[in-house]
Structure 1
Amino acid sequence: MNPLERGAPHLSIVLATCNRLPLLRECLMHTRRAIVESVGADDAEIIVVDGDSRDGTREFLAGQRDLRTHIEGRRGGCCAAYNLGLRMARGHYVMWLNDDAYPLPGAFGAALDLIERADMTDVGMVAFYHTHHQPWNELHGMDVPWPPAGVTLSDPATTGANPRPMERFGILHVRGRPYANFGLLRTALLRQLGWLDPEYVFCAWDPDLSLKVQVQAGLRVIGAPDARIYHAEHQDDRKRDDAARLRDADNERLFRKWNLPAKDAYPDPRPEYLALMRSRGLLPTPEPVAALR
């Protein structure tokens, strides 16, 4: 069914892309499958914001009847693109993905199940566990057998001659506070918070949103260990150029806005966070260590 011909969906999924058609195709393949497995095709919508692509993305999107799309006349940057897509969302819940991020089976259902639990009324946003290369600010992580059964990815790390037997999935913190690199929250809460801060251009808008959920709304950001996203983190010339020009300024804006402490100038957030996760049944309670005799 055409997404414009049905009522408001349960979940809106927002993607932003620019001249990365092969990655977008793969992302959509995994996203559509995850929707069917976890939500149901009629209960979710995919919104794609394209940053004035010239690689065939426009033509491809024009032929995708199950998508809602917005084509920017001029690329406005990552944060602006996601703000456009998030404001288009009609679902009760909304989340975002990168065009090189692939939800694994059960990811959407696990995130929705968590936020809808009766004992999670203090949770404003669910953070997906994702692959990453930032051990210095990992809040919690786990190694899982890789690749999962029935999942095929084009990333050379999973298809090369020596694929990794295990993959690390985790969630991160920004100076001691949990943040969602990929998050799911109620659309009404996002609207209440004023959407994304448009002062960001390339990055830092996602930890900023997590801080708004916690500081302004007084709600928690908590991870769903079974809601996993494989993030290939594909680097191309355009992304490298954007990072070189914009990353430092965006990060400086984040730290200045929230008056964040210096690195290691705050208590280790992991013990308190792990205790919370265990108290909610999201992580197993460790076995007591037998006393030495």
Structure 2
Amino acid sequence: MIHNPDLELVDVRQDESFTVWSHGYPYRTVRWHFHPEYEIQLITATSGKYFVGDFIGNFEPGNLVLLGPNLPHNWVSEMAQDESVAERGLIIQFSADFIANTMRAFPKLKSLQNLLAEAQGGQLFSAAAGQLVAPIFRELLNARGFRRVRLFLSLLDCLVKDGERSQLASPGYMPDALAYMSSTFNHVLAYIGENLATDLREATLAELCKHSVSTFSRAFRKHTGMSFVQYVNRLRINVACEMLIDGDAGITDICFLVGFNNVSNFNRQFLEQKGVSPSRFRKYQELNMSSRNMTATDQAMSVPA
């Protein structure tokens, strides 16, 4: 069974329209993963198995593939455990918004529409195309300004003109980014809930997800709408409220039971989230309960015997 893919957050600088880079093997991004950006990948060293959606195939140097948004993928090189290479592949990543805006600005690029549509299931290009784009890829690594854009469009032109390209994933395969995200972060949120009283650290959760801390942090905020620390503190304060309402444990005990390591921080977080201190929150709840009990007693007394 293939597990749901991890999310990779692609880092495209604000002063760039797309990112071009290379990596070796092993490398942190070499895992079953997906991202919202298009990706062009050219393998330059090693051979092995690659996975695109529900497709499994063999790759070798010259393997050139275009991937659509949120399409899960992975390349696994067949190498000895202690062996590594400095460069395994060259990669270009760009957003759907960028390429759509480019096509609107330059109507002659309309021929890209079919290529981008076909990329939803992944496209494998001919060995000849791989050889043709290799030097363009190399130049792109260091190109700047207009030359960089011109090289990028030249590379896309090579892909469009390759009449031997073929589909990788089956026609019925549909990437489901929402399901991938939900599955991954449901496990994360469940882990947090089950270990709330422990010393939860963002680095630990990032390691469990096989993300860097910065990648995990951005993905967590995108999924929950808040930072990891904010989420954990909010959950701990909510549990503390339940304990203040339903139990007799002292405030200091509750502080440590829900995972805070000092009372002053607990009181500060509680005040920020609830607008009152823990002790006043408990008094208000006791007043609320006594008021309810009094109302129930009055109603019982008003019922005719």
If asked which structure has higher relative contact order (CA below 8 Å, sep 6+), I would say: 1
The structure with the largest alpha-carbon Rg is 2
Structure in which a larger fraction of residues adopt helix:
2
Higher strand fraction (1 or 2): 1
TM bucket, shorter chain: under 0.3
Q: What TM-score do you get using the length of structure 1 for normalisation?
A: 0.23
TM-score (norm 2): 0.23
